[in-house]
Amino acid sequence: MDILIQIIITGIATGGVYGLIALGFVLIYKATSIVNLATGSFMTLGAFICFTFITALKFPFWAALLATLVCSVLLGIILERMILRQLIGEPIISVVMVTIGLAIAMQGLTHMIWSPEYRSFPEIFPPDPLDLGFAVVPSGLLWGFIFAVAGMAFFLLFFKFSRTGVSMRATANDQQAALSMGISVRRIFALSWSFGALAAFVGGIVIGNMSGISIYMGDIGLKVLAVIILGGLDSITGAIVGGFIIGILENLAGLYLDPVFGGGVKAVAPFFILVLILMIRPYGLFGKETIERV
């Protein structure tokens, strides 16, 4: 029983990090109806930028974090203005292919600047784990979970109470109606990409702090697809709940199924769950079901 509780607690902490990364997908999809498959590359770039601020430029961590977040917002605005805005009105598949090309280009850029060498992230948090009595949470997961919860709370409150957040929700619901009410849809698109990049950058820093950084760490972005499809592509709450569910189920698969099948089940469990979700409830737990009449 003790090991089961430990696995569930670890799964919750891991799921919080997944939920934060999933917000990068959801924030963009809510306003633009685009699934940004470059989120994993955003994560990698954010981790390397923060790493460079800390190691090469000798920034203290909080200054490096702030500078990295500024870079994320600028990157989101530049990409939306120079690339994505030109694709407004184009078929969705064309835009998705562009995000795939963007992911490859960003991974190549990261390779050119930093090389594929694995790096350990500087120790930025106290190394002591949190002892709950019935379970122990490692330091990396603990701080990752704290950052994830803080990020989720910020975006939830922003969308619910801020004027800009309400405008973004209105744009996501009906772009034509938002335009008629004087909302700048182009500005909302730029903000959505900026927030998506910001969430991905923070997720990259959290993952880098837990397991180190390399140009391939963005592969976790594919795993997070299971999270957003489970929760619903357009639901912030769904991203959070889906992250917790996938985190727990992934760790349970590692505990109970890996010994039976000789390992590897934990790595593929999110994708197996993804297939089941698509078969049973393709719009997710909290996603908006769309019915088309012909």
Q: List average pLDDT for each run of 10 residues in the chain, which is 294 residues long.
A: 80 85 83 81 92 91 93 90 76 82 89 87 81 79 82 82 82 76 82 88 86 84 83 82 88 87 82 80 73 53
How much is the pLDDT for 132? 78
The rounded distance, in Å, linking the Cα atoms of 107 and 63 is 25
Whether residue 240 lies inside any domain: the answer is yes
Structural domain contains residue 293: no
Task: Tally the domains of the chain.
Answer: 1
**Does residue 193 form part of some domain?**
yes
232 is in which domain, residue-wise? 2-280
* Separation of alpha carbons 37 and 28, rounded Å: 11
CA distance 276 to 279: 5
pTM comes to 0.86
> Would you say residue 290 lies in a domain?
no
CA dist 283 and 290 (Å) reads: 8
Judging by beta carbons within 10 Å of its beta carbon (0-12, 13-18, 19+), is residue 168 exposed, middle or buried?
A: buried
* Rounded Cα gap, residues 172 and 235, in angstroms: 11
Q: Is residue 27 part of a domain?
A: yes
Letter string b/e over residues 7-30, b meaning 16 or more CB atoms within 10 A of that residue's CB: bbbbbbbbbbbbbbbbbbbbbbbb
How many residues in the chain?
Answer: 294
- The three-state secondary structure class of 115 is coil
Whether residue 222 is contained in a domain is answered as: yes
Residue 286 lies in a domain: no
The tokens describing 190, both together, are: 């730029």
Question: In this structure, is residue 81 part of a structural domain?
Answer: yes
